[in-house]
Amino acid sequence: MSQPRILITGGTGFAGSHLVEYLLEQGFSDTHVTSLPPQNPDEAQPAWLIPANQIHFVNLTESQAVAELIKNLQPTQIYHLAALSEVGSSFKIADKIIINNTLIQLHLLEAVRQFTPQARLLIVGSAQEYDIHKPIPEDGISENHPLGPANPYAVSKVTQDLLALSYHYSYKLDIVVARPFNHIGERQAPVFAIPSFAQQIVAVERGTQSEIKIGNLDAVRDFTDVKDVASAYALLMTKGISGETYNIGSGHGVSMKEILDRLLDLSTMAIKITTDPEKIRPHDAPVIVANSQKIQALGWKPQLPLETTLQRVIEYWRHS
Amino acid sequence: MSQPRILITGGTGFAGSHLVEYLLEQGFSDTHVTSLPPQNPDEAQPAWLIPANQIHFVNLTESQAVAELIKNLQPTQIYHLAALSEVGSSFKIADKIIINNTLIQLHLLEAVRQFTPQARLLIVGSAQEYDIHKPIPEDGISENHPLGPANPYAVSKVTQDLLALSYHYSYKLDIVVARPFNHIGERQAPVFAIPSFAQQIVAVERGTQSEIKIGNLDAVRDFTDVKDVASAYALLMTKGISGETYNIGSGHGVSMKEILDRLLDLSTMAIKITTDPEKIRPHDAPVIVANSQKIQALGWKPQLPLETTLQRVIEYWRHS
């Protein structure tokens, strides 16, 4: 049986690079990625696990470039992870985030419709699409929960997600939508809280920073190891039902305070903490925990305990 | 008690011009509109019911222009109706529709946040935001129905609607969302089915066309007179609960075939009908009928029977 030809947009990014690693481990060697030409060569390293001719430097906001890529490559499976994702600043660059994320979604859908209409697409949305101001059931946020994003980044994920659904409905494209909750691991950018904590702890250990600055610690989130998220994406690619949406999350909530405490325990230093008003978002949801029964029914569950993930994250920053 | 200072974006358009008429009838003389400089002077006539200095020619896709308008005008009530709305062609111009509708929404929200944070906004979404592939209850589509637009225009309305909600959640802006179902009346552009039928019937009556071309007649829709929709908007502006969404519709479905038959009955001529494949949309929902109990609980119901609306529509085209 011939291997699928796999394309991962944003394949040199955080989740994308872990997905590449996972697929290579599974023996899928015909795995291609798109990437913007790297501004910082270090950032793109994990993707260089694949041959250079499987890395396609494409600006996905350019429709002609996307069309040519899909036409020439003829992928049979597309994982669409590329997106601007700086949530914290998304009100400041709302137009850029929404337009960028909408255009790359639209160009990909149009190219697939024209050149590879049989390809299967996995579209990556976000838990932040859900309206956390509506009553949340005891067993967490399911896929049926009302949409009501609280920031422009999350609005852009709704737009991506529903635009894909409109192509499924109107042109029968074979599309599955994933809505991952928080995920963490090596190579996540320190605009996010946990890598920021880890990076700062290491800076204090090195004596280049005297204290660590934090935002709101009350928020409770559902954290999954990025490696478990990668395996969920691969499972949805083969077993997800076309036109359906699947949450990816552990179903367990942990406060940011607990995460910070665990990271601090991984250091031998006594570290001073101060609150930085810049890190407090205009709206921060108190509790966001997944109901992930739908994907669990397909056979997925997270394998990696939080403890080992946090250990890996801090080791990553110690070696960066 | 002083009058509200009212701003209607898209106030020279179809629903906008009827809303202007309605508000003037109610005695609200401090009513302003935005409009793109009219390409066809006839189109804008109804809005000239208000003094020229209350018509503001602004391209809402330009953030600075929107900021200056809101800063200088200081509206207390804003009806946001401006949008590109050619549904039939929205797959062909998907990027333009989504970017245009998102930018005008974003610029308005940002200007209000900065310069008139106490203003009340009515955001006009669409019934097309709802997912009609999910099971539809006997009593119609309520506001809790899952979102799942089937074309890029409808995706853009979800984006507008949820972007507004994100400003309500994050910045406490005073926002109510309306989701009107189909509405009809004078001055609706003939890219929509019913004015197209009426325009073509009149063309046959005049001998300038030999037959009328139609699309799918099986679709069942919920039609409300645009004048009733205008009164619903005004009611929501004063009585809608901030952060809430309200459907506007009659709750009754009528097939396009029945509408066409009624329009044909209003003509004395025998008219030949042919099907035009160009008028068939890639995806056309079979039945879209509103559950409008939520707005009816605020005291609204449609007043004008379909018969008199269709009579007015055909008379409008006879005098155009």
DSSP class of residue A157 equals H
Q: Does residue A120 sit in the same domain as residue A215?
A: no
Alpha carbons A129 and A179: distance in angstroms, whole number: 8
Q: Tell which residue, B145, B148, B149, has the closest CA to residue B293.
A: B145
The secondary structure of B182-248 as a DSSP string is -EE-TT--TTSHHHHHHHHHHHHHTTS-SSEEE-----EE--EEHHHHHHHHHHHHHHSPTT-EEEE
Strands A212-214 and B120-124: unpaired
Q: Does residue A163 sit in the same domain as residue A294?
A: yes
Q: Is residue B1 part of a domain?
A: no
Q: Does residue B116 sit in the same domain as residue B265?
A: no
Q: Is residue B71 part of a domain?
A: yes
The number of domains in chain A is: 2
Q: Does residue A115 sit in the same domain as residue A161?
A: yes
The secondary structure of B120-173 as a DSSP string is EEEEE--GGGB-TTSPPPTT-B-TTSPB--SSHHHHHHHHHHHHHHHHHHHH--
Write down the pTM of the prediction.
0.90
Cross-chain Cβ contact A106/B152 below 8 Å: yes
Q: Does residue A131 sit in the same domain as residue A102?
A: yes
User: Could you give the ipTM of this predicted complex?
Assistant: 0.87
Q: Does residue B19 sit in the same domain as residue B135?
A: yes
Q: Tell which residue, A150, A24, A36, has the closest CA to residue A83.
A: A36
> From first to last of its 320 residues, what are the pLDDT tens digits of chain B?
589 999 999 998 899 999 999 999 999 999 999 988 767 666 555 547 889 899 999 999 999 999 999 999 999 999 999 998 876 667 889 999 999 999 999 999 999 999 999 999 999 999 999 999 998 898 999 999 999 999 999 999 999 999 999 999 999 999 999 999 999 999 999 988 999 999 999 999 999 999 999 988 988 999 999 999 999 999 999 999 999 999 999 999 999 999 999 999 999 888 999 988 777 665 566 888 999 999 999 999 999 999 999 999 999 999 98
Contact residues, chain A, for B163 at CB < 8 Å: 94, 98, 152, 155
Q: Tell which residue, A68, A80, A78, A109, has the closest CA to residue A7.
A: A78
Q: Does residue B231 sit in the same domain as residue B266?
A: no
Contact residues, chain B, for A102 at CB < 8 Å: 95, 98-99, 102, 159
Q: Is residue B18 part of a domain?
A: yes
User: What CATH number is associated with residue A205?
Assistant: 3.90.25.10
Tell me the β-bridge partners of B35.
B57
Q: Does residue A76 sit in the same domain as residue A149?
A: yes
Count CA atoms within 13 Å of residue B33 on its CB side: 32
Q: Does residue B152 sit in the same domain as residue B259?
A: no
Q: Does residue B129 sit in the same domain as residue B61?
A: yes
Nearest-neighbour CA in chain B from A9: distance (Å): 20
Q: Does residue B150 sit in the same domain as residue B268?
A: no
| CB proximity under 8 Å: A 49-108 to B | 63, 91, 94-95, 98-99, 102-103, 106
Nearest-neighbour CA in chain B from A121: distance (Å): 17
User: What CATH number is associated with residue B63?
Assistant: 3.40.50.720
Q: Does residue B133 sit in the same domain as residue B209?
A: no
Q: Is residue A1 part of a domain?
A: no
Cross-chain Cβ contact B152/A163 below 8 Å: yes
Cross-chain Cβ contact B151/A165 below 8 Å: no
What is the span of the domain harbouring residue A268? 193-219+253-287+308-318
Alpha carbons B248 and B176: distance in angstroms, whole number: 13
